[in-house]
């Protein structure tokens, strides 16, 4: 029997969001709960918030959790927008213990990989063939690369060096806000970034997501690149949906 309900938590640089997920439809069931990411975002402080969210929903099943980090077999390997003490942390073990669950009932994934997996299942079917890169524009830039719907995990294209800079330091959505850039000015930076990326991986399609994809009409039409660009269908909830699906299916990379 396939479970039709799951639970996902998306840990970001500014907020930690959790919700019940309908896995047949790829939609949230009811409202999500968002709590500000504690600062510093240490493993213990984040685990406390995650436990609070799970408690709030009274959820007892498996939990999928994303982190803005490279995750190998449940262990965080990087920490660009979270506390450096995450590096080397067995996130799977930490959350399993804090949530009183077996490690097999906690799935840890990179946030963009989780969002991408949700898009593959529930988004535009055009994303399921060929080489497809999903990019999330938020605090940083996340990436998920697929070939015929199959994920190549932990690609970290947000850290590509573009014109001598870490790409996300120039083209993340947070940079637009912090530097007070207009959409056209920010779109120029995204355009430059995507041009460098498309020249390296020659994708058939880019899917753009993250909070800023809600205002896609203000910047996506300004992009002048070779590759077709579509907006993520699940928008900002894709990470939660992908995490919930991974937990139920026992997917971890």
- Rule CB under 6 A: is residue 239 a binding residue for ligand BGC? no
Please identify, using beta-carbon distances, which residue of 68 and 242 lies nearer to ligand BGC: 68
Whether residue 190 contacts residue 223, with contact meaning beta carbons closer than 8 Å, is answered with yes
Angle, vertex CA 82, rays to CA 88 and CA 240, nearest 5: 95
- Rule CB under 6 A: is residue 168 a binding residue for ligand BGC? yes
The residue range among 41-49, 75-83, 89-97, 199-207 that interacts with ligand BGC, by the rule CB under 6 A, is 75-83
> How far is the C-alpha of 173 from the C-alpha of 10, rounded, in Å?
17
Give the bridge partners for 162, in sequence order: 165
> How far is the C-alpha of 79 from the C-alpha of 167, rounded, in Å?
16
- Candidates 6, 59, 65, 78; binder of ligand BGC (CB under 6 A) is 78
Q: Which residues between 173 and 212 bind ligand BGC (CB under 6 A)?
A: none
Please identify, using beta-carbon distances, which residue of 59 and 242 lies nearer to ligand BGC: 242
Rounded least distance, CB 235 to ligand BGC, Å: 15
Rounded least distance, CB 57 to ligand BGC, Å: 23
* Residue bearing tokens 């500000």: 36
Please work out the total of residues on this chain that contact ligand BGC, with binding judged by CB under 6 A: 16
Query: Which residue lies nearest ligand BGC, judged by its C-beta?
Result: 140
- Rule CB under 6 A: is residue 10 a binding residue for ligand BGC? no
Please identify, using beta-carbon distances, which residue of 62 and 138 lies nearer to ligand BGC: 138
> How far is the C-alpha of 173 from the C-alpha of 146, rounded, in Å?
23
Please identify, using beta-carbon distances, which residue of 50 and 59 lies nearer to ligand BGC: 50
Spatial CA neighbour of 240 closest among 5, 1, 69, 3: 5
Q: Which residues of 137-174 are buried (b: 16+ CB within 10 A; e: fewer)?
A: bbbbbbbbbbeebebebbbbbbbbebeeebbbebbbbb
- Rule CB under 6 A: is residue 158 a binding residue for ligand BGC? yes
Q: What spatial distance separates the first Cα and last Cα of the chain, rounded to whole Å?
A: 24
- Rule CB under 6 A: is residue 142 a binding residue for ligand BGC? yes
The residue range among 34-42, 68-76, 97-105, 216-224 that interacts with ligand BGC, by the rule CB under 6 A, is 68-76
> How far is the C-alpha of 171 from the C-alpha of 138, rounded, in Å?
9
* Residue bearing tokens 């997996």: 117
Rounded least distance, CB 23 to ligand BGC, Å: 23
- Candidates 19, 50, 54, 69; binder of ligand BGC (CB under 6 A) is 69
- Rule CB under 6 A: is residue 242 a binding residue for ligand BGC? no
Spatial CA neighbour of 178 closest among 85, 39, 81, 37: 81
Binding region for ligand BGC (CB under 6 A)? 68-70, 78, 80-81, 110-112, 136, 138, 140, 142, 156, 158, 168
């Amino acid at each position: 029997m396939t479970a039709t309900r799951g639970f996902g938590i998306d840990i970001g640089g500014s907020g930690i969001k959790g919700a019940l997920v309908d896995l047949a439809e790829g939609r949230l069931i009811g409202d999500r709960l968002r709590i500000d990411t504690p600062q510093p975002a240490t493993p213990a402080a984040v685990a406390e918030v995650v436990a609070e969210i799970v408690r709030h929903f009274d959820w007892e099943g498996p939990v999928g959790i994303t982190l803005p980090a490279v995750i190998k077999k449940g262990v965080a390997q990087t920490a660009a927008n979270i506390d450096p003490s995450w590096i080397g942390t067995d996130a799977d073990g930490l959350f399993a213990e804090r949530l009183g669950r077996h490690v097999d009932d906690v799935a840890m994934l990179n946030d963009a990989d989780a969002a991408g997996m949700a898009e593959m299942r529930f988004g535009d079917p055009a994303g399921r063939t060929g080489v497809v890169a999903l990019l999330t524009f938020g605090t940083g830039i996340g990436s998920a690369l697929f070939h015929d719907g199959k994920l190549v995990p932990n690609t970290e294209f947000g850290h590509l060096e573009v014109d001598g800079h870490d790409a996300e330091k120039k083209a993340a959505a947070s940079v637009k806000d912090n530097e007070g850039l207009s959409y056209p000015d920010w779109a120029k930076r995204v355009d430059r970034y995507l041009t460098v990326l498309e020249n390296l991986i020659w994708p058939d399609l880019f899917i753009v997501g993250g909070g800023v994809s809600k205002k896609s009409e203000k910047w996506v039409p300004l992009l002048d690149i070779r590759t077709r660009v579509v907006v993520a269908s699940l928008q900002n909830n894709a990470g939660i949906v992908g995490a919930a699906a991974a937990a139920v299916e026992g997917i971890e990379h």
